[in-house]
């Protein structure tokens, strides 16, 4: 590391005093509010943002989709049964499968002399799949959000109380959870639906009765870890009460796992509902959900693939986008990710 001595002027060897330090001072980061900051981080996360847009789109269609054509979700028209999808504009593109031709290549619309367009086709009773899918998505999402919200409230409350008070309280509360886990959840769900009659509320209840346990366990683990951390002790020495410790310190720091669990609960709830409908314990016709639609489509998968295809795609999209968003939300709501 020899240097050229000629470069080293004499004045460089004077004391620099304050000026040198000032030159080096770095500009400080501007401060922004917590939510603005989080939003900024979420927007930068491409996957999460894509998930958010997708969820927005699905939600919009779930609300507005059924009104976009003139078919009602339970309007039967047996003459129009089992029509393949046909979309104006897209019908010209032969490989897309939107031309109204079935798997044998016969244009069913011409064969049955149907003037209408059924965008996603019709089912065996001649009901419009497009309308039914969005109607079904709406009901599925409603069940899922309700179940997730109930899980969240119950699980967080139960888990944090159990861990925070500890000792005997914790002991009793955990035994209760163990009993609940010990019973196979499917049996609980089936029994409950048999007693309550299948319907939106009974399915939601059935799912919540066993679903919140997971959340409670996760929250309990986190709170147990956090409650002896020094910032909690510091707050106690300042005289903070239980509510402040829980609401201000413990639960906010559990937010990451809570968000992730909730975001997984939503697709799981949709899936469970689909499964229950699939085995015949779910919603009863004519009400549609994504699950009943898949169930109906499954029976004629080989002859009329469109019956199964669209509902499955929507389920997959919902799952993927919620998982993407959940991942991104966890990171963006954590101020430690601020750079």
User: Site residues (CB under 8 A) for another protein?
Assistant: 1-3, 8, 10-16, 20-21, 23-24, 26, 28-29, 31, 34, 229-231, 233-241, 244, 248-249, 252-253, 255, 334-336, 338-339
For residue 20, the minimal CB distance to another protein (Å) is: 4
Q: Which is nearer to another protein, 107 or 334 (CB)?
A: 334
For residue 112, the minimal CB distance to another protein (Å) is: 59
For residue 19, the minimal CB distance to another protein (Å) is: 8
Phi–psi pair at 174, nearest 5 degrees: -70, -35
Q: Which is nearer to another protein, 45 or 289 (CB)?
A: 45
For residue 217, the minimal CB distance to another protein (Å) is: 22
Q: Which is nearer to another protein, 12 or 195 (CB)?
A: 12
How many other β-carbons are positioned within 10 Å of the β-carbon of residue 228?
A: 8
Q: Which is nearer to another protein, 302 or 339 (CB)?
A: 339
Q: Are 309 and 320 in contact (CB under 8 A)?
A: no
Q: Which is nearer to another protein, 1 or 195 (CB)?
A: 1
Q: Which two tokens stand for residue 16?
A: 């620099």
Q: Are 298 and 311 in contact (CB under 8 A)?
A: no
Q: Please, what is the Cα angle at 102 between 100 and 108, to 5 degrees?
A: 55
Q: Which two tokens stand for residue 86?
A: 């046909």
- Euclidean distance between CA atoms 78 and 163, whole angstroms: 59
CA 290 to chain centre: 15
Q: Which is nearer to another protein, 185 or 235 (CB)?
A: 235
Q: Are 131 and 70 in contact (CB under 8 A)?
A: no
User: Residue 69: left if φ>0, alpha if ψ -120 to 50, beta else—which one?
Assistant: beta
For residue 266, the minimal CB distance to another protein (Å) is: 24
Q: Which is nearer to another protein, 69 or 174 (CB)?
A: 174
For residue 283, the minimal CB distance to another protein (Å) is: 41
Half-sphere exposure of 215 (CA within 13 A, CB side): 30
* Bond from prior residue into 300 cis (ω within 30 degrees of 0): no
For residue 241, the minimal CB distance to another protein (Å) is: 8
């Amino acid at each position: 590391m020899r240097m050229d001595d000629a470069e080293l002027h004499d004045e460089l060897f004077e004391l620099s005093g304050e000026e040198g330090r000032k030159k080096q001072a770095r500009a400080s980061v501007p401060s922004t509010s917590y939510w603005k900051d989080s939003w900024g981080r979420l927007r930068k996360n491409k996957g999460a943002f894509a998930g958010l847009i997708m969820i927005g789109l699905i939600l919009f269609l779930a609300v507005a989709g059924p009104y976009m054509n003139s078919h009602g979700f339970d309007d039967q028209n047996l003459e129009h049964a089992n029509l393949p999808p046909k979309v104006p504009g897209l019908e010209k593109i032969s490989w897309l499968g939107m031309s109204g031709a079935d798997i044998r290549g016969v244009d069913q619309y011409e064969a049955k002399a149907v003037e209408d367009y059924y965008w996603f086709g019709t089912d065996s009773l001649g009901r419009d799949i497009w309308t039914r899918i969005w109607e079904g998505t709406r009901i599925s999402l409603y069940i899922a959000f309700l179940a997730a919200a109930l899980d969240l409230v119950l699980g967080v409350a139960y888990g944090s109380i159990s861990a925070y008070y500890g000792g005997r309280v914790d002991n009793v509360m955990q035994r209760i959870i163990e009993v609940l886990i010990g019973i196979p959840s499917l049996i609980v769900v089936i029994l409950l639906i048999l007693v309550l009659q299948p319907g939106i509320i009974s399915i939601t209840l059935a799912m919540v009765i066993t679903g919140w346990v997971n959340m409670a366990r996760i929250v309990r683990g986190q709170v147990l870890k956090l409650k002896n951390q020094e910032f909690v002790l510091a707050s106690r020495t300042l005289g903070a009460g239980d509510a402040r410790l829980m609401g201000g310190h413990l639960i906010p720091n559990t937010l990451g796992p809570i968000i992730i669990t909730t975001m997984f609960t939503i697709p799981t709830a949709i899936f469970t509902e689909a499964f229950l409908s699939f085995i015949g314990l779910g919603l009863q016709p004519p009400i549609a959900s994504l699950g009943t639609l898949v169930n109906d489509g499954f029976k004629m998968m080989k002859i009329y693939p469109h019956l199964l295809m669209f509902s499955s795609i929507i389920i997959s999209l919902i799952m993927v986008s919620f998982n993407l968003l959940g991942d991104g939300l966890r990171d963006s709501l954590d101020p430690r990710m601020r750079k």
